[in-house]
A and B are shown apart, each in its own frame.
Chain A
């Protein structure tokens, strides 16, 4: 069953087409990743699915409800963690969650237990009566995740959930997300520009560029489509070694780059012994050898023609967000 289905979802801002006829289906109980550089349209897609923005044309179903005609039902079905912080720092953590429960009409009988459960999940129970202004940015993020779940949504939207966080906090958040998928009947849509995040968490990834979906598949198949793994070998005679590898006919492609021989193969683990054999048979001494699986970075580069890291604006807005958190 599909939790989200979009049909030709389009959003125009004046002359700019931010989202261009996007068609995606998100299966229930999966984590779906929207991956793309800044201004690609990820957040705009999310905003439309959350009924914050009205599409220019096309529509979508979320939990079976139309985002245009049944926006109130959509809102009750979803939880959102925004890219920028959105907690009230003059209230305590618990008060923030209580307010959320009231706004979403969580029954009074379930309110307390639900809040405690979520605070527990993100390990904030012991700090729940502290003012949010005394929280670290990682804790605020965790609080926001807890808050988005208080009304037991069916779909959770995470817009850059780990932006501006240190690696440790990022790991924490990933583990909560995995934990959630185990215990709750939840479907998650997340946007990110961290390849690692998409790779580790998502069941399916859509690569978004210029408002369009340029690729959509599991992280594994996306990488596979790129064609194989790379074995990097450094020898004392690279030129000769490359010749011999080519003669052996085991590689799809062999090049010399940066004083190393890069051999592209389909199944590196089975071919590795042959790669070593070829060297020893010809009396070539191997100084180092390493094996690299294709990264999503490469996939991204392949489909959009540019690396994700080139788009530094997002990081900046992340830093801006942190600074804003500190201003009070």
Chain B
């Protein structure tokens, strides 16, 4: 009971801090909008494929995935902030287990990412993607599965870093490959074999594919059935949550 209360209060803190950061909040949906409109329209006009959907529609689920990934990774930095500003100490000496601390933080950051993802999802109609309520209901759980993995990756990296600068550098090295090799912007089944493995070990690949299956419907021929996507995502989540809990319990 007291552990649950601890998790709740840690979650609440993350979400409160998130909403108070207005500039980042605004910037965070401007960026996906730029990708969708400028990049999507620009490259879309050069790509002439007759697939039953536009290039913008094709990258739309990818941009949702990107938003989830970037927000999760960015919010992982809060662990370093907390350590540098001493607040982590206050949490670490509280009579609450490390597992609860990790779960509270994870759920908090996940909520932040989910909110960002939802905002991008609502941008869909602007670029001509039809969003139905059923779609929203189906996509939310997928977003949640993606977020858990990406948040844990961010928190694990952050728990091993001591400075904001080094986390920033590492973040770029993780963010871009994960984003580019997830099928967010182009189909990944024609990539050279040496790049294929990177696609397969990327949780985002399965998340983007699952969302695309739902958003584009029957026009989209998915390389993997949606239930396979979801099972693999779930396995990734379990692995990363365990790894994250372990990383947190080691750090002083």
Contact = CB atoms under 8 A, between A and B. Distances in A.
Given A102-B5, A102-B8, A324-B85, A88 B13 contact: yes
Interface string B68-95: 0000000000000000111101111111
A105 B96 CA distance: 9
A52 B21 CA distance: 32
Given A86-B87, A103-B91, 19 more contacts: A52-B93, A72-B95, A75-B94, A86-B90, A87-B90, A88-B13, A88-B17, A90-B16, A90-B20, A100-B90, A102-B6, A103-B6, A103-B10, A103-B95, A104-B94, A104-B95, A105-B5, A324-B84, A324-B85
Contacts of B95: 72, 75-76, 103-105
Per DSSP, are chain B's interface residues mostly helix, strand or loop, or mixed?
A: helix
Interface string A78-92: 001010111111110
A93 to B, nearest CB: 14
B6 A75 contact: no
7 contacts: A84-B89, A86-B85, A88-B13, A95-B13, A100-B90, A102-B9, A103-B9
A51 interface: yes
Given A75-B94, A91-B17, A86 B89 contact: yes
Interface of B: 2, 5-6, 8-10, 12-13, 16-17, 20-21, 84-87, 89-96, 252
Interface string A286-304: 0000000000000000000
A99 interface: yes
A82 B89 contact: yes
A88 B92 CA distance: 14
B250 to A, nearest CB: 14
Interface in A246-277: none
A82 B86 contact: yes
Contacts of A88: 13, 17, 85, 87
A50 interface: yes
Given A50-B93, A103-B96, A86 B86 contact: yes
Nearest to B3: A105
Contact of A85 (B5, B21, B86): B86
Contact of B17 (A82, A90, A98, A100): A90
Interface residues of A, number: 26
Contacts of B10: 103
Given A82-B86, A82-B89, A324-B85, A91 B94 contact: no
Interface in A292-328: 324
Contacts of B8: 102
Contacts of A99: 9, 12-13
Nearest to A83: B86
Nearest to A108: B5
A169 B216 CA distance: 64
A119 to B, nearest CB: 17
Nearest to B89: A86
Interface in A44-84: 50-52, 72, 75-76, 80, 82, 84
A90 B20 CA distance: 8
A100 B252 CA distance: 20
B85 A85 contact: yes
A120 B170 CA distance: 45
Interface core residue of B9, B84, B90, B91 (most chain A CB under 10 Å): B90
Given A52-B92, A86-B89, A105 B16 contact: no
A135 B5 CA distance: 28
A308 to B, nearest CB: 25
Nearest to A76: B95
Contacts of A84: 86, 89
Nearest to B92: A52
Nearest to B101: A103
B9 to A, nearest CB: 4
Interface in A100-115: 100, 102-105
Contacts of A76: 95
Contacts of A89: 85
A244 B95 CA distance: 68
A53 to B, nearest CB: 8
Nearest to B90: A86
Interface core residue of A76, A89, A91, A98 (most chain B CB under 10 Å): A91
Nearest to A102: B9
Contacts of B93: 50-52, 75, 80
